Amino acid sequence: MDDKVVSENDDALMSFQNEMVRACPLASCSNRRRSHGESSSASAVVDANDNRDSHNKRVKIYDDFDGGRSETAAASSSTRTSRAPADYGDYDHFRGSPLQPTNDGDDFGMLSTGEENNFDSSRVKVSEGDDCDMSEVENAKVTMDLSDDLLLKVFSFLDHTNLCKAASVCRQWRSASAHEDFWKRLNFENRKISAEQFEDICRRYPNAMAVSISGPETYVLAMKAISLLRNLEVLKLGRGHIDDSFFHALADSSMLKKLRISYATLGGGVLDIPIDHDRLCHLKLKKCRVMGITVRCPLLETMSLKRSNMVQVVLNCPLLQKLDISSCHKLPDSAIRLAATSCPQLVSLNMSNCSCATDETLVEISQTCAGLNFLDASYCQNITLEFVRLPMLTVLKLHSCEGITSASMAAISHSSLLEVLELYNCNLFTSVSLNLPHLQTVRLVHCRKFTDLNLRAIMLSSMLVSNCPALQRINITSNSLQKITMPKQGSLNTPALQCQSLQEVDLSECESLTHSLCDVFSDGRGHPVLKLLVLDSCESLTSVRFISTSVVSLSLGGCPITNLDLECPNLEKVVLDGCDYLERASFCPVALRSLNLGICPKLNMLSIEAPLMVSLELKGCGLLSKAFINCPLLTSLDASFCSQLTDEDLSATTASCPLIESLILMSCASIGLDGLCSLYWLPHLNVLDLSYTFLVNLQPVFESCSRLKVLKLQACKYLTDTSLEPLYKEGALPALQELDLSYGTLCQSAIEELLASCTNLTRVSLNGCVNMHDLNWECRHSCCQIDKLGAVNTPFGASHEKICEVSEQSTRLLQNLNCVGCPNIKKVVIPHCFHLLFLNLSLSANLKEVDVTCLNLCFLNLSNCPSLEILKLVCPRLATLFLQSCNIGEEVLEAAISKCSMLETLDVRFCPKICSMSMARLRAACPSLKRIYSTSSS
């Protein structure tokens, strides 16, 4: 092409681009053409596109006025047809796209706002290198050649920003992105643009159908839009001063259908603003400053003057159906009456926050606008509705209307078609008695004197009654209501409900509800499909007896109930948090899979029949003296601190729950030998906790629990030194892996024999054992085998064959050993425990010597062992070593960690013999160290 063909408009667009207004892709493209000697005009590009339509059968895509797209196929001799736009998705769902209409609750398909289009297409990069030159892109080999109609379909999903970026790729993409079908909606909100730039854009795209403008130049740009865009249908203006001449010239835009002006000052402030247009269908003036308006629009359907400051409205709009004058505080009652009564086709009227409105106006409106079906009279203090009759009304909203009384309800009852009724903060009416067959939604909130609700509404499907403290009686009949929410009704006694479809009821914090409520929701009371019942914090509810075959979830949190009797075979969830006074509970039958009654400290009698229950927790029920538990699938039972639980109850439970795998009887002081004998009925038992009991003979456990893996005997101080002999002399409990003898009284020899013979144990806890003096597992043969391995200061110092040889000879499987707080232990020697991973000897005040040679040990805790003097470690895989508050010397520690080649964390805080200057030596001795915690660093 030739430079002479370059359009004169490109110069204007160049400055327009520098102002960050990126509405036209040709602006950036023309800049690149000019810099490289390429010449083209916008009209030439468009003409070339049109000329190729017949050859490529390109699909043209047009914006409709609701933000969508429509497309038509170009005429051609071919019989091939184009696909419908639905095949390519919904063009409206692009977040941040200027093609997308705003969704601000109005009836206009206007443009989106924001700064999302502030881009510079001249800086688009096509690779990770420098900015790509346009000529380089055009001269490069095209690896993917798309047909024009396919390219247009792809581009139809792009917003203005991405269209401009696409224009920088190649000539074909530039031509496609410049097609006027993509530029029917121009968004100039919150952007600086001169009148010359705007005029140039309008001339470039004369078929634009929607324009959005805001800012100080709104009036000038709006006048140019009206004069240059003859197909303009949607115009959005805001934040500026709009002179009278604009409204006089508005008739010249003959195709205009939607006009929205917001946050603007209209006219000179003296005379009424005339809006005279033969085709205008939707008008919205939001928060505008104007003395008054006169509207003559024979086709106008919707009009909104929300929050506008005006004193006069004159309407000549015979087809107007929706009128919104909400928050027009200065609009007098006579103006409201004149405006509404001049529109006989009115079906929707929003007059909320019009403080001057009266019943007389509503009476005249009801006589003139017989089809009125929506009325919002919220915050109108002079409205009572006593003499108003609106037979066609379907939606009525009355928020904070102090004039609404019980007599108003009688007037509302004449609206037999009413579907939605909202009463918020209406403090004078005391009762509601309505028989409305079409009523579907009721909202009664913060009505202080409201005491009686009598509602017969067969179609009622949604209901909210909240914060009506005087409400005492409720009588509701409905065949469609599925959910009732009535929280915080402090005076409500017993609701009368006849609702065959009711599924959810929320009566939380209704302080006056009593046990008679249970009869309302039990079987045979007209609620065959009730699923959810919430009665939280009902302070007068002391006894609950509930029989229902449908209820699935029941919440009684915070209720002071003492007796609970549930016969609900489908009950899957029950909430009893805060039921501190519960004494007797019966769940027979229920479908619960788990139940926690440990939060009920006063429970003394329990009966459970739950065929699906797998977990039951009674932890803390110290007064429980009688329990009947029939749960054939139960696998876990925690009865910790149930000190009154007897052998008889335990025997009955084990007989009826044969699948129990975990049984916790910690601090069950009443359990004796007979109770342990009943463990015979639990062939799958693998976890048994008998800590803090008075047991002496464990023979029933050794004989019955052959599969036991975990046995906890903490603080069983009545066990003798021979009580555990079957473990290490007779091979009892062959599957046992974890044994907890903490705070016991076993002697040193019994402990040593136990550790030496029970080689199958993987976890042993001996915390607080006062009779243990030394822990010496020294074995010369095994030590020799380890010594033969040579240098083991690295994990690979020993050969694989020799390590395997030692592991085969070391039959001990112990992995975790806890000896915390053993006051008399002095020496620990563990030379050959191959599988040991975790060793905790902390808080052993008299521990002086530790000699550990364990190839796989990774954690060692010697904190708070103030007597520790000798530390010998050959632990090539040790990763963490704790030595807090130990008196160990620096040289001893340096020698010990030198043979721990994988040590990463060392804690020597509060060690008086280890100073901060020693850190370098320690790191030199053990190069693998990553973290050293010392007193100076802490």
Question: H-helix or E-strand containing 655?
Answer: helix 647-656
CB atoms within 10 A of CB 195: 12
Using omega within 30 degrees of 0 as the cis cutoff, is the peptide bond preceding 216 cis?
no
Instruction: Note the pLDDT of residue 789.
Output: 40
The two three-digit tokens of residue 779, written as one number: 């074995």
Q: Is 20 left (phi over 0), alpha (psi -120 to 50) or beta?
A: left
Tell me the pLDDT tens digit for each residue of 848-875.
Answer: 999 999 999 999 999 999 999 999 999 9
pLDDT at position 826, please? Answer: 92
Give the pLDDT confidence of 340-388 residue by residue, as tens digits.
Answer: 999 999 999 999 999 899 999 999 999 999 999 999 999 998 999 998 9
Q: What is the pLDDT of residue 566?
A: 95
Residue by residue, DSSP assigns 194-236 as -HHHHHHHHHH-TT--EEEEESTTHHHHHHHHHHH-TT--EEE
pLDDT tens digits for range 197-228: 899 889 988 999 999 999 888 999 999 999 99
* pLDDT of 145: 60
Give tens-digit pLDDT for 481-500.
Answer: 989 888 888 888 878 888 88
What pLDDT digit, counting tens, does each position of 615-627 carry?
A: 999 998 989 999 9
pLDDT at 627 (0 to 100): 92
Other beta carbons within 10 angstroms of residue 96's beta carbon come to 12
Question: How far is CA 934 from each of CA 514, 864, 885, 916, rounded to the nearest angstrom?
Answer: 64, 14, 10, 7
Report whether 326 contacts 308 (CB < 8 A).
no
3-state class of 680 per DSSP?
helix
Contact 252, 276 (CB under 8 A): no
Query: Residue 163: which pLDDT band, with cuts at 50, 70 and 90?
Result: confident
Q: Which long-range contacts (CB under 8 A, 24 or more apart) does 706-711 make?
A: 706/733, 706/734, 706/735, 707/683, 707/735, 708/733, 708/735, 708/736, 709/735, 709/736, 709/737, 709/738, 710/686, 710/736, 710/737, 710/738, 711/736, 711/738, 711/739, 711/740
Residue 839, pLDDT > 80, answer: yes
pLDDT at 504: 92
What tens digit of pLDDT does each residue of 690-716 get?
999 999 899 999 999 999 999 999 999
Q: Which residue has the tokens 């933000």?
A: 67
Model confidence at 275, pLDDT cuts 50, 70, 90, reads very high
Report the percentage of the chain scoring pLDDT > 90: 53
Query: What residues form DSSP beta bridges with 423?
Result: 398, 444
**Mean pLDDT, residues 278-289:** 94
pLDDT at 810: 52
Q: Which residue has the higher pLDDT, 167 or 839?
A: 839
CA dist., res. 350 & res. 329, Å (int): 13
**Residue range 584-596: average pLDDT?**
95
Q: What is the pLDDT of residue 691?
A: 95
Phi-psi region of 733 (alpha: psi -120 to 50; beta: other; left: phi over 0): left
H or E element at residue 35? helix 25-35
Q: Which residue has the tokens 């139960």?
A: 634
Residue 831 pLDDT greater than 90, yes or no: no
pLDDT, average across residues 531-542? 92
Rounded to 5°, angle at Cα 159 from 158 and 160: 125
pLDDT above 80 (res 110): no
For residue 771, pLDDT beyond 50: yes
**Tokens 């865009």, located at residue:** 229
pLDDT surpasses 60 at 69: no
Q: How far apart are CA 434 and CA 474, in angstroms?
A: 12
pLDDT at 216: 86
Query: Across 267-276, 469-478, 511-520, 683-692, which has the greatest mean pLDDT?
Result: 683-692
Q: What is the mean pLDDT of the chain?
A: 81
Indicate the helix (H) or strand (E) that contains 663: strand 662-664
What is the C-alpha separation between 101 and 111, in angstroms, rounded?
4
Contact 836, 807 (CB under 8 A): no
* pLDDT in the model for residue 460: 92
Residue 269's pLDDT is what? 64
